[in-house]
Amino acid sequence: MTVPTHHPGDTLLIDYAGGALDEASSLIVATHLALCPCCRLNVAEMEAVGGALLESIEPEEVDPACLQTVLARLDELPPLPRAPKPKPVCRQTEVPLLPEPLRRYVGNDLSRLPWKRLMRGMDCCDIPLGSGSEGRGKARLMRLASGVGPPHHTHRGIELTLVLDGGFTDDLGQFARGDLSVADESVRHRPVADAEGCLCLAVTDAPLRFTGPLGLILNPFVSF
Amino acid sequence: MQDLGSPAAGSDRTLEELLTAVGRERDRSAFASLFGHFAPRLKAYLRRQGCDEGAAEELVQEVMLLVWRRAETYDPAQASAGTWVFTIARNKRIDALRREQRPEIDPADPTLVPAPAEGADDGVAARETAGRLRAALKTLPPEQADLLRLAYFEDKPHSLISAEQGIPLGTVKSRLRLAMERLRKAMRDSR
């Protein structure tokens, strides 16, 4: 099994481990983690750093009544079960294409999703996030046919793209399943889907700005 | 060999042993010792996330109730007690303060790509690693340690830290990377 070659990098993983990323960015980082054992180890270590920081924080006195309140509430609810729930839906022989946590957001049947056509060979589907996420990052699935790419664009914020199937190529190289591309203001790139097409998860924390002539037409429709 | 575990005040057991006792035996006195250790730290953590006094103490209670209910799932080979409690507190405050979900991997997901040789750690590894890590934290240059605390305690991604502190984004990134490199080395030292 191949492992990804393009990774989120330390700073994005620290943001994820510390819990500072919004839901959309956390979703794409966590989905990369499912496909990348090396970044999983990194995040486990970054969580250990969080634990060490918590240990070293200057403690603040807590009202002694708090402990009594908590002790009195211990039997209110049963312990949470050790094993999550078994998953009868998929037999072990059928490995779903989409990993968790993405699967629990969109399901595994891509044909049932409400795809919207953006342009010829390019469809997208917005992923609903929690109510607290309004006005923050947006997540969507993108499906590109062979040789298709969005028009030239730059980014006001960060655009994260995770390949789920097929692949694409841009100035930074070739991206295959599990690879995460991080593009910020400094990048003016033009990704193009490889021969087998490309399914990816894309997250932006600010609207894309198309820079070519077609951008004038597309910008109002791609309401990122 | 020196015990680098996390001793709990007023108890001759380590935090890891206390947490295991809560998970296995529903040991209330062990839980009270854990509360004595973690509640004041959790309160300080939540205050830095912007909670006022009362809201912080209420959330501390919620987090400690989750510790009680989830203790059975705690595995001392995977994480120190402090790390495990940190992840519970982090997820709880995202849920309570931001009303957002925290997307995470599912270790039982058949789609998960396994590590070549996962699970090589033995039972004491996580605890000893935590001791080396705490020692290494104290040796970080102040500008790196400060940024690390902002990143973990203030619910701000590094891009926002850069904007608010007036430190160029590249500098924020390189300081965080340098800090992490040093801490990683301390953690991986005796593997």
Q: Where in chain B is the domain with CATH 1.10.1740.10?
A: 7-102
Query: How far does the CA of residue A169 sit from the closest CA of chain B (Å)?
Result: 23
Contacts B50 to A, Cβ<8 Å = none
Indicate the pTM of the whole model.
0.89
DSSP single-letter state for residue B74: -
pLDDT tens digits, B25-81: 999 999 999 999 999 999 999 999 999 999 999 999 999 999 999 999 999 988 999
Chain B residue whose CA is closest to A77: B69
Select from A15, A45, A62 the Cβ nearest to the Cβ of B158. Answer: A15
Question: Cα–Cα distance between A222 and B179 in angstroms, integer?
Answer: 39
Mean local confidence (pLDDT), A80-103: 72
Give the residue ranges of chain B where pLDDT is below 50: 1-4, 120, 122-123
Query: How far does the CA of residue A178 sit from the closest CA of chain B (Å)?
Result: 10
CATH topology for the B139-191 domain: Arc Repressor Mutant, subunit A (1.10.10)
Question: Cα–Cα distance between B31 and B18 in angstroms, integer?
Answer: 7
ipTM value: 0.92
CA B92 and chain centroid, separation: 13
Select from B149, B159, B187 the Cβ nearest to the Cβ of A45. Answer: B187
Q: Where in chain B is the domain with CATH 1.10.10.10?
A: 139-191
Question: Cα–Cα distance between A39 and B113 in angstroms, integer?
Answer: 11
Within 10 Å of residue A217's Cβ, how many Cβ atoms? 12
Contacts B68 to A, Cβ<8 Å = 70, 74, 79
Select from A23, A31, A178 the Cβ nearest to the Cβ of B100. Answer: A23
The CATH superfamily assigned to A1-84+99-224 is Jelly Rolls (2.60.120.10)
- The encoded tokens of residue B28 equal 């209330």
Chain B residue whose CA is closest to A130: B100
CATH topology for the B7-102 domain: Rna Polymerase Sigma Factor; Chain: A (1.10.1740)
Question: Cα–Cα distance between A81 and B74 in angstroms, integer?
Answer: 12
Residue A9 contacts residue A183 (beta carbons within 8 Å): no
pLDDT tens digits, A41-73: 999 999 999 999 999 999 999 999 999 999 999
Phi, psi of A164 (to 5 degrees): -105, -30
For A135-148, the DSSP string reads TS-EEEEEEE-TT-
pLDDT exceeds cutoff 90 at A134: no
Is A18 in Cβ contact with B152 (below 8 Å)? Answer: yes
Q: Which residues contact A103 (CB under 8 A, 6 or more apart)?
A: A96, B109, B111
